[in-house]
Structure formats: structure tokens, C-alpha cells
Structure 1
């Protein structure tokens, strides 16, 4: 259920402490992203998972930063921003993306990027990991973060 060309990642998250920070907007899409993330965490043998619901996608970076600083091994950011008729989309998308990048670099904690930035609801539903979706970005965000966590642990 991933984009053609996407890597297949084997992920072992046993022993990892993971926070999933999920926006509250666009309930159907978010339910799919959360389910995909939870399924990937279970498949990766992660037992210590905390789910936090953020007011929106703009708030994801500060919440991810707070949980990364609390000793979580990986933080998964899940959200969806759908283009509208104003520049709001560009401002929130850029701010959230730049903020999540900064959190990862400043804390050294892998941040799973599950923030959908879509032109319309249909695009978001195609990426939400629902039964009829073509992609599962919640799962992919977990796999990327845990793969990065494993790689960082090899540094000692």
C-alpha cells in the first residue's frame, strides 16, 4: 500500500518508546492515519505507545518537540492540511513542515512525517490507509521513524 518506488522497510521497534501526535481536523482521514500508525507499531513490536491529539497541524511541531524532550525514542506526526481559497494552506504547510524538521534536528529524535498536504479531500483519502486507499502514510511515517531510530542506535 505504498507509492511505486517506495522502499520496503523491515522495522524492529522492540524496546522503543513512541509518541504519536495526531491532529483533530479531517476525522475520516485522521482515523485512517492513526490506524495505519498503530498497525505499524504493533507489527514492529512496539509496546510503549502514547497517543496525543493536537488541535491542528500547526501545533504538531511544538507538541513533537515537547515529547521528544521527554525521552521518547521516536515521535510520529500525523496531520492533514487541505488547500482552500486563501494562502492559509501555504503558511500552515510550510510552518508545520519546517517546524518538524527543526524538532528532529534540534533534539536528535526521529520524527515520522505523516503530514498530508493535499489539494482536496480525495487526495487525502487516497493516502490515509483506509480500505480503499492506495497509500498508508501513517504506516510509512512509523516505519521511517523506527528505521531511523535503529540506524541512530548503531552510532553508539
Structure 2
């Protein structure tokens, strides 16, 4: 976990965008941090039209993200955390969530913010969760990326630079 090489994300007025956040419920403290980061980003970018939906776990993110995308949201931010255990469950959930969220973006041509932490242990999750003692704020980063992508998609659709 380096955090090195991240691009500078330009904050812009995204007040016209309609944004949905879909967030898993497992690992309450980590999820509270991720949601807090997403909410900070929405406020900083001026987004006032947003909805937050909670799902049981990370595996359920894609289906709800797809339903939200079908409702016309400009961006859907998916937040979750999967921590490696002693079984292949980690790999299955991570792959299903990743593949499903990519499919949502492609099938609906909508910006999808990928805020799913895939960690080997709890400490890695806490380091990325955007909590006061965290080194990174992946909820904010995923939301920022989704907003920037939504703006890019809008310019592609209208043919403007």
C-alpha cells in the first residue's frame, strides 16, 4: 500500500450530477470511514442530489449498483471491504464484486466509483478507510473518480472538450 502515483484530482462544480452510493454493511468502522469519505467528496464537489443505499455485503454491490444505474444516476459509487480469511471465499467475493461493477459501468455507460477495499488484514482496511488515523481515504477517492468520469462521459456524449 503505497499511495504513490495517484493523480491530482481537480475539484469542480458537480452540483448538476445525480449520484448514488451503494455501501456494504460488514465491518462497520471501516464502512463508516468509507461513507464519510464519500460524503466529504460529494460536499466538496457541490453534489446535492445523492442517495445512499446499504446492502448486506460486498457481494451484493453489483446488483444494487446496476438497479441504481438503470434509474438514471450519473455516477454510482460502490463501497465495501473484503478481508482475506483462510478460505477461497475472499477470491470469489473480490472477483464477483469487481467483475460485476465493471459490467454495471459498461452495460449502463455510467461512471462507477470502485471503493471496494480488498485487504489481507484489518489493519490494511483501517489504513485505507478515511478514518482520522488512516493514511488513505478510499471513499473520497472513489467518489472523486466517479464524478470526474461522469463529467468525462457527459463531454463525450455532447462532443465537447
TM category (shorter chain) comes to over 0.9
**How big is each residue's C-alpha offset from its partner over 1:83-136, in whole Å with a ceiling of 9 and x where there is no partner?**
001100000000000000011001001000000000000000000000110000
Kept in 2: contact 1:11–1:146 (CA 8 A): no
**What are the ranges of 5 or more consecutive residues in structure 1 without an aligned counterpart?**
none
How many residue pairs end up in the alignment?
155
Structure 1 segments (4+ residues) deviating >3 Å: none
Distance 2:144 2:79 in 1: 13
* CA displacement at 1:3 relative to structure 2: 1.4
Q: What's the Cα RMSD here?
A: 0.9
CA contact (8 A) 1:75 1:112 kept: yes
1:153 Cα deviation after fit: 1.0
Cα separation, 2, equivalents of 1:70 and 1:127: 30
In the alignment, the residues of structure 2 paired with residue 11 and residue 100 of structure 1 have an alpha-carbon distance, to the nearest angstrom, of 24
Mapping 1:50-65, distance limit 5 Å:
50-65=51-66
In structure 2, distance between residues paired with 1:3 and 1:44: 22
The SS at the match of 2:72 is: coil
Instruction: Give 1:22-101 correspondences, 5 Å limit.
Output: 22-101=23-102
In structure 2, runs of 5+ residues without a counterpart are none
TM-score (norm 2): 0.94
Query: In 2, distance between residues paired with 1:18 and 1:11?
Result: 16
